[in-house]
Structure 1
Amino acid sequence: MSQKNTEAKRSARDRMQEERAAQEAKARRLRQFGIIGTVLAVLVVAVVVGVLVMNHKTSSYTAATDAPKGTAGANSLVIPVGADAAPSTLTVYEDPRCPACGEFEKEFHGTVNQLLSQGKLKIQYHVVSFIDRHDQGSGSKNAANALACAQNVGAFHNFHDVVYANQPDETDDAWADKNVLITLGKQVPALNNPAFASCVNGNTFGSWVTAVQTAFDKSGFSSTPTILLNGTSAYPTYNGEQISAANLVKWVDAANKGKTPAVLTPASAAALASPTAGNSKP
């Protein structure tokens, strides 16, 4: 590997860590503001209760009826990718507007897809949307709903790749315009249709998006990306080693030692196939 490529990868990891540190600092500030807000909230508790009652219908969530098809985990809040029998699990908490998540996807996209296709790894995605709350806007929620629309028809993995390949700057709430997401969907054959557009425009899985974020708020995690390998934090380090594409392969192979990789079904293999229209920014 050339020195230039090594420095580029190191720079990408540095940016991911800087972005995550910034998110954690922002989260600490918001928690401090939250203490002040709690005191003030006592003065307006009646108004708050009234708003909660009025919003109950839009925020309620029932997994059996409100979750996209194929979701998993408690209350169907997880989007699984890869073969169920894969011996290792990568748990990923991502916000579509999160720049550090974008850096992670760019650096590890090929490696993760290789491990998935080899049946060594499966992924459990938690699509969160807290950046809308921190930076104002609706792009995270709209993109999360669009990803749920894709999951509902078995096209999550492909659309996920397209979304992150076309991620705007965090401060640019480009996905507040749902038409941008619908246009991105046209790069995935299964989403190039009126049904996907209707799902995005109608915020069909809005209550599911809210439920995923609520679970994240209660999880103890406060920043994205949060990456776990078989339940152990793997970002930015895993057992004292810095994350890299080569190390991720090494870690998975070590965890899988003595275990048999999964054999992908035709459906699983098809779900991992790249969209024929490509997924790069225009």
Structure 2
Amino acid sequence: MSQKNRDGKRSAREALREQREKEQARARRKRTLVVASGVVAVLAIAAVIGVVVANHKDSDKNSTPAAAPKGATGKDNVVIPVGAADAPSVLTIYEDFRCPACDAFEKTFTPTIHSLEDSGQIRTEYHLVTLIDGNLGGSGSLDAANAAACAQDAGKFRAFHDVLYSNQPDEQDDKFSDKNHLLDLAGKVDGLKTPTFTACVNNGTHDSWVKKSNSAFGSSGFNSTPTILLNGKSIYGSTSNLTPDSLKQMVTDANKGKKAGTVTATPAS
């Protein structure tokens, strides 16, 4: 082989080697770029997640918790108590201000319940529910319950509760969604219709609390209103023969040998 041919082959090999080195260098740069881009993307995603988490935390900090009415008790403060705190028996009532069956119960048992409360025999614990709003639409259950919670703030829940049932519209008529109507009804309770109460009703101050109370009802295992319990035992329903007299007797039996609770004056309507 001539020197010329040997030099030609060597030049070709060198050119091929140089070409391969260039290609390898280009591949390394490409890999580096891909890795760098991936890192940037990961950092960008992390930054977005960080912003979302931070905003969520800020939202949690700034969100308004359910404003429970004054004196609310029980788990998550969803109970409105009426009567002596130390009464020997507890009557639990789940009810909806639009519910006609609740109205029938109230019209039959309200005088008896008040008598038992006022003699220190029972404490009534009200759980406000918005079942009819969910079934028929509208917001009357919610708005009436909020107004009742506003009345609780004023120490006049029992009186306004009774006024609402005394003026309950037809189940299909969402009249309680009219806040002006609720304020007119509040005028039937002495001293209730104040600027503070009016603002509470109009602003839906306790709406979130009412929704929380309704959610608790949904988790309670009960599915209809009214649901009535005496010391935790259901005493009223489709198979119940409960009467005002039998309710009194049940309470008497449950309280046997127990001291009546300390009664404070209940604001009258």
1:69-119 CA-to-partner distances (Å, cap 9, x unmatched) read 100011110000000111010000000000000000000011110001110
The 5-angstrom pairing of residues 183-194 of structure 1 reads 183-194=184-195
The 5-angstrom pairing of residues 84-103 of structure 1 reads 84-103=85-104
Secondary structure of 1:242 counterpart: coil
Q: CA RMSD in A?
A: 1.8
- Counterparts of 2:64 and 2:211, CA distance in 1: 8
The amino acid that maps onto 1:118 is S
Partner residue in 2 for 1:127:
128
The answer as to whether partners of 1:186 and 1:192 remain within 8 angstroms in 2 is: yes
Partner residue in 1 for 2:241:
242
The answer as to whether partners of 1:162 and 1:187 remain within 8 angstroms in 2 is: yes
- 1:262 deviates by 1.3
Larger radius of gyration: 2
1:214-268 CA-to-partner distances (Å, cap 9, x unmatched) read 111111111000000000001038xx8610000000000000011111131xxx3
Partner residue in 2 for 1:156:
157
The 5-angstrom pairing of residues 111-260 of structure 1 reads 111-236=112-237, 242-260=241-259
Unpaired segments ≥5 residues, structure 2: 1-55
The answer as to whether partners of 1:61 and 1:208 remain within 8 angstroms in 2 is: no
Secondary structure of 2:130 counterpart: coil
Partner residue in 2 for 1:10:
none
Unpaired segments ≥5 residues, structure 1: 1-52, 276-282
Q: Residue 62 of structure 1 is aligned with which of 65, 76, 87?
A: 65
- Counterparts of 1:129 and 1:216, CA distance in 2: 9
Partner residue in 2 for 1:16:
none
- 1:167 deviates by 0.6
The verdict on how the C-alpha distance between 1:241 and 1:185 changes in structure 2, with shifts beyond 3 A counting, is: closer
Partner residue in 2 for 1:79:
80
Identity of aligned residues (%): 50
The 5-angstrom pairing of residues 1-80 of structure 1 reads 62=65, 66-80=67-81
- Counterparts of 1:125 and 1:192, CA distance in 2: 22
- 1:274 deviates by 2.6
- 1:155 deviates by 0.8
- 1:61 deviates by 6.4
Partner residue in 2 for 1:35:
none
- Counterparts of 1:190 and 1:225, CA distance in 2: 29
The amino acid that maps onto 2:268 is S
The amino acid that maps onto 1:97 is R
- Counterparts of 1:61 and 1:107, CA distance in 2: 39
The answer as to whether partners of 2:85 and 2:262 remain within 8 angstroms in 1 is: no
- 1:123 deviates by 0.5
1:186-216 CA-to-partner distances (Å, cap 9, x unmatched) read 1112312222111111101111011011111
The answer as to whether partners of 1:61 and 1:211 remain within 8 angstroms in 2 is: no
- Counterparts of 2:100 and 2:131, CA distance in 1: 13
The amino acid that maps onto 1:250 is Q
- Counterparts of 1:69 and 1:274, CA distance in 2: 18
1:27-49 CA-to-partner distances (Å, cap 9, x unmatched) read xxxxxxxxxxxxxxxxxxxxxxx
- Counterparts of 1:203 and 1:88, CA distance in 2: 33
Secondary structure of 1:167 counterpart: coil
The verdict on how the C-alpha distance between 1:101 and 1:241 changes in structure 2, with shifts beyond 3 A counting, is: closer
The answer as to whether partners of 1:155 and 1:191 remain within 8 angstroms in 2 is: yes
- 1:176 deviates by 1.3
- Counterparts of 2:262 and 2:211, CA distance in 1: 34
- Counterparts of 2:85 and 2:113, CA distance in 1: 15
The amino acid that maps onto 1:156 is F
Secondary structure of 1:103 counterpart: helix
The answer as to whether partners of 1:102 and 1:164 remain within 8 angstroms in 2 is: yes
The answer as to whether partners of 2:91 and 2:124 remain within 8 angstroms in 1 is: yes
